[in-house]
Amino acid sequence: MTSENSTDLSPGDAATRVARWRLGGVIALVAALVVTVVVITGRSDDKLSASDPTTVYGGLELTVGQKFTMASFPIDHPGAELRMIRVEALTSPNVEYVGAYALWPRDLARGSLAIAPGFPAKELRMVREFGAAITAEETLRQGASGGYLSASVAIGFRLVSGDVGAVNGIRVVYTVNGRTRHMDFRHAATICASKAACKAADDSKWSDDVLRQFDLVPGGN
Amino acid sequence: MRTGIRTSIAAAVAATLVVGLAGAATAAPAPGVVTELLGSALVRFPEFAPLPDSAGLGAPSMVRGVLRDPAGEPLRGAQVLLAAWPRNEELAKLPIGGEFELIPLARTVTDRSGRYDLRMGLTPALVALAGANGIDIELNVFHGGRHYVYLSQVHPDLKAATWAGSALTHALVPAVRERADGALDLVLDPATGEDLNAAAPVALAAGEPPIDERPITRGDLPQLGMSCTNWKLLGTQKVMTTAASALIRNGATVVTRYDEGSSTASTTGLSIDGGISFGINGSRERSITTGAEFHPVTAARGSALSREFQVQIVQEVKRRVCHGNHFQRYKVQYLTQPSEITGGGDVIASRLPQWTCHEDNIADAGGLKAVFTTDARAATYSSAFTFTPLGRASFTGAAVSGYSKTVRIEFRFQKGRRGGWCGDSALPTKPDQRLQGFQL
């Protein structure tokens, strides 16, 4: 579902271009059933839809109103020039998008950040302008393992309300030598924001239950 | 113990499979191309003779690819026979000494490039042979005076009315390469093919086999007109097989689940020297019906723990007796293949070498409680199991598991401490990684 209140945003400086989105009068809590798609500029005909996640980051402890960063979205095109265009995300209604930065291959030479509180998370050594060109020379950088280093994006979200929140599914739209492509990452994150919820997150099935509660997986509630 | 029981599945299915061969004929074979079933292929598998050459059929392609020798040269003019096994869930009920017959499906001859294309329609009877992991198939190839046997699986795609190969099984055998278009290319080493002109092997070494192998009697010998399509179950062994592995460091914990529906493919073995040695000749995937749980494992602070998580797979040993190329000479083939996954839960110290993360392959997991990957990302364990099929030489095989919602390795981190994970050759979210979890 695309929120009617979403503004046309180009990902960039989080301080000046922040997506403001709220459900009119209905703040979803644990029993929320509505899936939110945050679309930043434009619309894709091939929609990002609920799917079983391939990677789950379970039980990130936050407080209400706190931001968090998801940043491990490896994009590999060695020898090509890349530009990030936009991101889309499937979230629970009480999680809002707050911005995005690009990460260059050199920024990931000493490892990447999967997820952390704060945006941009303090663990990120460097963040780059979202739409700036990542040169072909940059995408040919190699890491200690001998493989080519990836480019990535760091995406910021905020837990607006409630004890529990979730993200499941990120689409990154970018250009490769001028041609537009997109890559979907079936990565999920589950957030707990109360003592009880974070205690429940000790159960290895908790994240599955949260994703189902928010209808973020097929065959959910 | 009942013996001599022969399933009747083969006869019932074969009668209906004729319908599956319908379809408009394609172009006539090129001049000089042999289309009849000849030589040893005809002697050993006369049931295939009435089948038309697949090259002339318009039915969907069931198995296709290229046959080459180890030097990369195409195997031209090879006779390729495709048969199905009865449904695995039914064969698992076969008592020791029970027998079944192959179900002939298709045959063809490779062209000058070594290409083959075996075609078969999706008939209800054939689709009914599909178990939880598809249809078990057997390829018998005759070339250069040798007989090769290869086992695999296919899946019917009813919506598209086509056949698909099995990604897990094709990933296992080094001599196999599944192309992006689903074709199955095989490298057939003459050393692994039965020499049809050689004399029968010398007397076997003495010893007490763990399997109560009935001696071959006059009743087992192939009579004139009888074929090589009959397999007899000699026995079974439960073999612990590595399904997953994980390395944890410095206080991290790993929780591994192998829930109902999880699957593991393991290599099959063929002996053409009377059971003295077994070589890998394919693979088959099986799924567990009940699930297996593993106890969480935690590494002490400052130390590393490497563990393999094993499931119990029932390996069957089968035998068939076939004509040789000389009058009244016969040859014996032994086969091992996985029958079912019956449980497990063994956690053993890993035999795999420990490895350290390259810093560019590390993903910092912040203040998370847990991280896991659930997509079909599997690592192949080349020495996943070893057993002695006949109490003589051992057979070491490989296995690979399909990571999914049901096969899951989860790393858990202590409160207040940052966690991280990495893959052995790339970021942990990339395919085919062995995983390591640690606390920073």
- Number of Cα atoms under 13 Å in the Cβ half of residue B327: 0
Instruction: Report chain A residues whose CB lies below 8 A from the CB of B374.
Output: 52-56
> Which residue in the block uniquely carries the two structure tokens 């280093």?
A149
A70 to chain B: closest CA residue: B365
CA pair distance B287, B92, nearest whole angstrom: 13
Give yes or no for a contact between A97 and A91, defined as CB atoms under 8 angstroms apart: yes
Distance CA B113, CA B414 (A): 59
CB within 8 Å: B410 and A113: no
Residue B328 has a CB neighbour count (10 Å cut-off) of: 9
Q: Which residues of A touch B (CB under 8 A)?
A: 52-61, 72, 74, 108-117, 121, 123, 143-145, 147, 149-150, 185-187, 198, 201-202, 204, 207
- What tokens were used for A209? 């239950």
Chain A residues closer than 8 Å to B298 by CB: none
Which of B429, B433, B434, B440 is the best mutation test for A, with the most CBs of A within 10 A?
A: B429
B contacts of A149 (beta carbons < 8 Å): 360
What mean pLDDT do residues A49-58 have?
91
pLDDT tens for B319-347 read 998 876 555 566 789 999 999 998 877 89
pLDDT in tens, B262-276: 889 999 999 988 788
Mean pLDDT computed over B93-103: 93
ipTM tops 0.90 = no
Contacts of A57 in chain B (CB under 8 A): 365, 368, 370-371
Which residue do the tokens 């914990």 mark?
Answer: B253
Contact B372 A108 (CB under 8 A): no
What residue type is B435 in one-letter code?
L
What distance in Å separates the CA atoms of residue A20 and residue B96, rounded to the nearest whole number? 70
B31: pLDDT strictly greater than 80: no
Q: Are B192 and B279 in contact (CB under 8 A)?
A: yes
The answer to whether residue B358 neighbours chain A at the CB level (below 8 Å) is: yes
Strands A112-113 and A67-70: unpaired
CB < 8 Å to A220, chain B: none
Amino acid at B84: A
Task: Kindly report, residue by residue over A4-41, the tens digit of the pLDDT.
Answer: 222 333 344 333 332 333 323 333 333 333 445 443 43
User: For an interface test with B, which of A73, A112, A119 has the most B Cβ atoms less than 10 Å from its Cβ?
Assistant: A112
Residue range A96-146, pLDDT digits in tens:
999 999 999 999 999 999 999 999 999 998 899 999 999 999 999 999 989
Reported as a pLDDT band with limits 50, 70 and 90, residue B210 is: very low
The pLDDT value recorded for residue A31 is 35
**Buried (b) or exposed (e) across B259-284, using 16+ Cβ within 10 A?**
eeebbbbbbbbbbbbbbeebbbbbbb
Closest Cβ opposite residue A145 in set B363, B425, B428: B425
Please give the pLDDT value at position B415: 84
Of B37, B222, B70, B233, the C-alpha closest to B140 is B37
Disruptive mutation site among A56, A75, A155 for chain B (greatest number of B CBs within 10 Å) = A56
